[in-house]
A and B are shown apart, each in its own frame.
Chain A
Amino acid sequence: MSEETSKIGVYVCECGINIGAVVDVPEVVRFAAELPSVAVAREYKYVCSEPGQDMIERDIEELGINRVVVASCTPRMHEPTFQQAVAEAGLNPYCLQMTNIREHVSWISKDEKAATEKAKRLVHAAVARVAFHEPLESRTEEVTPATLVVGGGIAGIQAALTIADGGYQVYLVEREPTIGGHMAQLDKTFPTLDCST
């Protein structure tokens, strides 16, 4: 993929007033729409909401968008959300790029002009980058159906029993000669004063 063949959709989120009160979102959208390879640029109050995701999916299906930029919060929050949305519309999830105009822009600035300018730059960078994204495939590997629990106190015993009751093998390792830990040393336990062993 290159700048020539990519057809980019840009979605700028207001995040209610979280972004919208500081960043001039319509201005960022106007700016994004003029960038090379951008086929559509839209704003929405909450892009992460169901109608917001539907909007992206519809553009992929109807306009043939093949690269997506979401300008919103940190990707730590919603990258999986948007990856799933683009995948549902048939696009590889790695054809998405998020750029953070909330934590990196609106939450750290009161200067509306400078914030809008920074948001535009970040959107520009994301658009330039996403054109070079390659579709990537995740692999899966089998899980060995056994658990090691290290420590035979009340925590280790509780965890081991829960997993073992679920039908899986547990190795419970304890460095002392007996399990029980501190719990076994206690006389009665608060607040109900029941026995500990």
Chain B
Amino acid sequence: MMDAGRHPNIELLTYSEVEEVSGYIGKFEVKVRKKARYVNAELCTGCGLCQEKCPRKKIPSEFDEGLGNRSAIYIPFPQAIPRIPVVDAEHCTYFLKQKCRVCEKLCPAEAIDFEQEDETLELEVGAIIVATGFAQFDAKSSPQYNYGRSPDIIDGLQFERMSSATGPTEGEIITSKGVPPKRVAVVHCVGARDEYSNAYCSRVCCMYALKHAHLVRDKTDAEVYEFYMDIRAAGKGYEEFYERVQAEEVYFVRGRGAEVTVLEDGQLMVLAEDTIMGRPVSAKVDMVILDAGMVPYSDAGQVASTFGIGRSEDGFFLEAHPKLRPVDTNTDGIFLGGACQAPRDVPDTVAHASAAAAQCLSLLSRGVVTISPTVAVVDEELCSGCQVCIALCPYSAISFVSHNGTGVVKVNEALCKGCGTCVAACPAGAIEARHFTDRQIYAEIEGLLRGLRLEAEEARV
């Protein structure tokens, strides 16, 4: 993180979103909206006085997954890069009631700027890597676990924050009563390998669930019950880690956690079928960790359409070929890195993103792209300018060029894939696909059928 923030060749654009992408491989034009932070990044020293003095402090922290609070002006976590706070306009007293501005008065650098507006930047790049990541499955979507009904039913990321030294409990694992738990249940496959939520295996959860069991055993005296279907520990050093956790006296129950109920005394009951013993089992615990699977972000569809890339059935972004082109997309020059393409853990994410970077470096160091000549060409004499083709082109490669009130269409050869849709649709027959001309195709059909004709003639004789 630190290296990325300091690298002379990296321009960080945080709190920013890509709004529009046009162009083609080697020459993309990108519009990025830099959202107003209401803090002047040039002046801010990152001292943190503003968030300390902000009177609105009871806003659930997104970074701490709602386990802790933040103020309305905030730096998400101590090691944030850049260390520049942002004003959350939805919760800031000034934006809600037009008064306060305490931070502005107290800022020693005079960096607070309530007049700041969103800014649109235009960038030109040769290649794009989409590395937008994943969302954790929302355990509320599997109601049998009663997530949200008890503060002691937490999900995987909440546990991570609880266990982290920078988290709301400074790394102490405690129940809502403020004491270490005596019995903890870790539930695998929440929102994964489940026909009612996600059919696929998220690959990552087994290992992080094992890690959670280890951390509980390491930091508390609690008994840990691990409810699993299978342990999928394929990876370098993973099986060894599983063995290590087994040796830490964790109780492994082979069976999906079927239900979590909140008892009257606030205790939690986990029900499951132990498929080794062949009987239903239950465990009364005081903390449940729901280790959920990975899903695409809810706005993945919008991101896909912004970049002109596809998605697979599970909603993750689609690679050009599952084996041979795992980081390419069907749009040349746009690559995928990490868990936006499929659920993957940290080592695999780093490898996948490195591969995407290698593809980009190969393209950039080559310096030129070869544009295939097998594209559509417009006969300007015949084109009536009706523009039927423009809406049909799946690659947005056709544009209208008008002059003196009339006009013709033009094909951008770098964007055209030679699919032939426009050729077939043109009412004037003004578009031809190079290498797929009518003459070539008719000759091919003729060749295919000539034998048939001979057979038919023979039959007649």
Q: How far is the CA of A173 from the CA of B10 in the complex (A)?
A: 10
Q: Does A153 contact B (CB under 8 A)?
A: yes
| Contact among A121, A139, A183, A191 for B451, CB-based, below 8 A | A121
SS of B interface (majority) = mixed
**By the criterion CB–CB under 8 Å, are B134 and A182 in contact?**
yes
Task: Tell which of B95-103, B145-153, B271-279, B442-450 binds the partner.
Answer: B442-450
Contact A186 B160 (CB under 8 A): yes
- Tell me the A128-142 residues at the B interface (CB within 8 Å): 128-129, 131-134, 136-142
Contact B126 A143, beta carbon cutoff 8 Å = yes
Instruction: Tell me which residues across on chain B come within 8 A of A142, comparing CB atoms.
Output: 26-27, 367-368
Number of interface residues of B (CB under 8 A): 114
For window 41-83 of B, CB contacts with A under 8 Å fall at 63, 65, 75-77, 79-82
Inter-chain contacts of B79 with A (CB < 8 A): 180, 184, 197
Using A133-B440, A153-B131, A155-B340 as known contacts, say yes or no to A172 and B211 having CB atoms under 8 A apart.
no
A176 pairs with B371, CB closer than 8 A: no
Judge whether B448 and A182 touch: CB under 8 Å. no
A170 → B minimal CB distance (Å): 5
Q: Does A161 contact B (CB under 8 A)?
A: yes
Complex CA gap A183/B132 in Å reads: 13
**B250 proximal to A (CB < 8 A):** no
Shortest distance in angstroms between A5's beta carbon and chain B's nearest beta carbon? 14
Residues of A within 8 A of B129 (CB): 147-150, 156, 159
A147 to B77, CA, bound (A): 28
**Contact between A148 and B370, CB atoms less than 8 A apart:** no
User: Is the beta-carbon distance between B370 and A187 smaller than 8 angstroms?
Assistant: no
Restricting to A115-132, which residues have a CB under 8 Å from any CB of B?
117, 120-122, 124-129, 131-132
A36–chain B nearest beta-carbon distance, Å: 10
By a CB distance below 8 angstroms, the chain A residues around B188 are none
Q: Which stretch of B254-262, B281-289, B357-365 is in the interface?
A: B357-365
Interface size class of A (residues with CB under 8 A): 35 or more
**With A143-B26, A174-B16, A190-B207 in contact, is A155–B337 under 8 Å at CB?**
yes
A52 at interface, CB cutoff 8 A = no
Contacts of A173 in B (CB 8 A): 13, 16-18, 32
Given contact pairs A151-B133, A185-B65, A188-B215, A178 touches B80 in the complex (Cβ within 8 A): yes
Q: Given A138-B373, A163-B357, A192-B237, A175–B160 Cβ distance below 8 Å?
A: no
Nearest opposing residue in chain B for A191, CB measure: B241
Residues of chain A with a CB closer than 8 A to B440's CB: 129, 132-133
Any chain B CB within 8 A of the CB of A193? yes
Task: Check if A191 sits within 8 Å of B5, measured CB to CB.
Answer: no
Main secondary structure of the interface of A (DSSP, over half): mixed
Flag whether B437 is at the interface (Cβ < 8 A): yes
B322-358: CB near A (< 8 Å → 1, else 0) gives 0000000000000001111000011001101110111
B282 to chain A, nearest CB (A): 29
A175 engages B16 (CB within 8 Å): yes
Cβ contacts under 8 Å, A157 to chain B: 1, 3-4
Tell me if B371 and A179 are in contact (CB < 8 A).
no
* Separation of A164 and B10 alpha carbons in the complex (Å): 6
Cβ–Cβ < 8 Å partners of A171 in chain B? 10-11, 13, 30, 32, 123, 125
Listed A/B pairs (12) with beta-carbon separation below 8 Å: A124-B447, A127-B447, A128-B444, A139-B370, A140-B368, A140-B369, A140-B371, A144-B126, A156-B353, A171-B11, A178-B81, A191-B240
B residues touching A (Cβ–Cβ < 8 Å)?
1, 3-5, 7-18, 25-28, 30, 32, 37, 63, 65, 75-77, 79-82, 84-86, 123-134, 136, 157, 160-161, 163-167, 171, 207-208, 210-211, 214-215, 235-238, 240-241, 307, 337-340, 345-346, 349-350, 352-354, 356-358, 360-361, 363-374, 413-414, 434-435, 437, 439-441, 443-448, 450-451
